[in-house]
Structure 1
Amino acid sequence: MKKFLIVGLGNIGEKYANTRHNIGFKVLDHLASEENLTFETQKLGDIATYKLKGRTFILLKPSTYMNLSGKAVQYWLTKEKIPLENLLVITDDLNLPFGSIRVKTKGSDGGHNGLKDIQATLNTTKYNRFRFGISDTFSKGKQIDYVLGEWCDEENKILPERLSKSIELVKSFGLAGVTNTMNTFNGK
C-alpha cells in the first residue's frame, strides 16, 4: 500500500487558528471535516489517517511551531517509512495572488521559516510543496502583521471554494502523481 505524508504548516494555538500563515492547517482541517477524520495528538504533531483507493495519507499538523517544522516532518517520514517523493508540504506563499495554488517538486524556501527548517533538517531542496497564495497586499514593514493577520471578509468568502480545490489537489497528488497534479492544478 502506498503511503503519503501530507504536512500542513501552521502554528498551534487559538490565536493563530484563522491567520494566513496557518493555511496548511486549514487545508488539512477542511479535508478532515469533509471525510469525517479526527486528528489525534501524537509525537511532534496532530495526526489523522485518510485512506483512499489503496493509498494511505498520513495528515500531519506539526506542533513544533513553524520554525521547527523539519523535526516533525523527518520524524513522521522515518516512523511511517515514507519515501521523500511521497511528501507534500502545504504552505502559505506571499509571492502568489490570493487563492492561487501551485505545486513544485523543489525550490528555495522563499524566506518561509517553516520551509527553511524542513530544508535544513532533510538536507535537500527537492521535496514537493503545495504553495497557497496569500498575496502581498501589505504595506512596507508590515509583513509579519499581515502573515499572522486573519483573513479579511472578501478572502473568507472565496476561501471555502479554494479549500475544496486544495483537497482535490491533495487527493490527486496521491492518486495521479505529482506531475499530473502540477499539470492539472498549477495556475488554476
Structure 2
Amino acid sequence: MSTPSLLAIGLGNPGAEYEDTRHNVGHQVIDGLSGRLDISLQHQSDALVGWGRYVDQKIGLAVPLTYMNRSGDAVAGLRAHYDLPIDRLLVIVDDLHLPVGTIRLRPTGSSGGHNGLAHVAQRLGTTEFSRLRVGIGNDFPEGRQSDYVLSPFTDEQRPAARSAREDAEDAVLTMARDDIDAAMNRFN
C-alpha cells in the first residue's frame, strides 16, 4: 500500500453505551467521514480501520477500540503497522476547553489536560503530531466533569455540535487534499 496522505484517528470509548457521548466526538467525526467517503472500517488489532480515496489522495480512517485513556496503544500500533511518518497522523478528540460548535486544528501541542491525547503522546514518544479538537463546552458543576463528558449533548447543544462535527470532517478532508496549513487557515 502506498503511503496515505493522512491517517485520521478519532478517539473515544468503545461500546454502544458511549456512542452518543461528548467524549466520543472523535469517533463520530470518523463515522461521518466513513459515510461520506464510502469507506468501511474493519477490525484490525485494537482499532477499526478503513482506507479509501479523497480526490486524488489516499486517506485512512481509524477508531481505537481501546478506552480513551489507553488510546495511545492503538495509535502507536497503527503508526508502526503502516510505518507512517508522524506528519501523516491526525488525532481527533473532544475538548471541554472549547465551546460547543467550535473546532481547533494544530500541528503540535500539549495534551491540554486531555488524558487520551496525553496517552497518545506518551506512546508515540512525542507531542509533534497533528490534533483536531472539537469543542464540547464545560457547562457542568464542579466535580462532575466525568458525568458531563460521558453524557450526550443537550437538545440545545445538538445543532452546534452537529455543525462542529461537519466542520471537523471538512477540516480532515482539506488537510488530506491540501495540507494542515490550508485546513488551519480555513477552519481555525
- Scaled by the length of structure 2, the TM-score of the pair is 0.94
Aligned 8 A contact 2:22 2:149 in 1: yes
Offset of 1:177 from its aligned partner? Answer: 0.6
Structure 1 equivalent of residue 13 of structure 2 = 11
Offset of 1:42 from its aligned partner? Answer: 1.3
Structure 1 equivalent of residue 158 of structure 2 = 156
Please point out which of 54, 57, 68 is paired with 1:55: 57
Q: CA RMSD in A?
A: 1.3
Offset of 1:159 from its aligned partner? Answer: 3.3
What pairs with 1:137-156 in structure 2 (closer than 5 Å)?
137-156=139-158
- Counterpart-to-counterpart distance in 2, 1:36 and 1:86: 21
Structure 2 equivalent of residue 67 of structure 1 = 69
Gaps of 5+ in 1: none
Offset of 1:123 from its aligned partner? Answer: 1.0
Equivalent position amino acid for 2:182 in 1:
N
Aligned 8 A contact 1:2 1:55 in 2: no
Offset of 1:170 from its aligned partner? Answer: 0.4
- Counterpart-to-counterpart distance in 2, 1:125 and 1:39: 27
Structure 2 equivalent of residue 181 of structure 1 = 183
Deviations 1:83-107 (A, max 9, x none): 1011100000011111101001111
- Residue aligned with 1:68, SS: helix
Offset of 1:64 from its aligned partner? Answer: 1.2
Alignment length, in residue pairs?
Answer: 186
- Residue aligned with 1:103, SS: strand
Equivalent position amino acid for 1:12 in 2:
P
- Residue aligned with 2:105, SS: strand
- Scaled by the length of structure 1, the TM-score of the pair is 0.94
Offset of 1:110 from its aligned partner? Answer: 1.3
Offset of 1:34 from its aligned partner? Answer: 2.0
Structure 2 equivalent of residue 89 of structure 1 = 91
Structure 2 equivalent of residue 37 of structure 1 = 39
Structure 2 equivalent of residue 121 of structure 1 = 123
1:132 matched to 2:142: no
Aligned 8 A contact 1:2 1:54 in 2: no
Q: Percent identity?
A: 37
Gaps of 5+ in 2: none
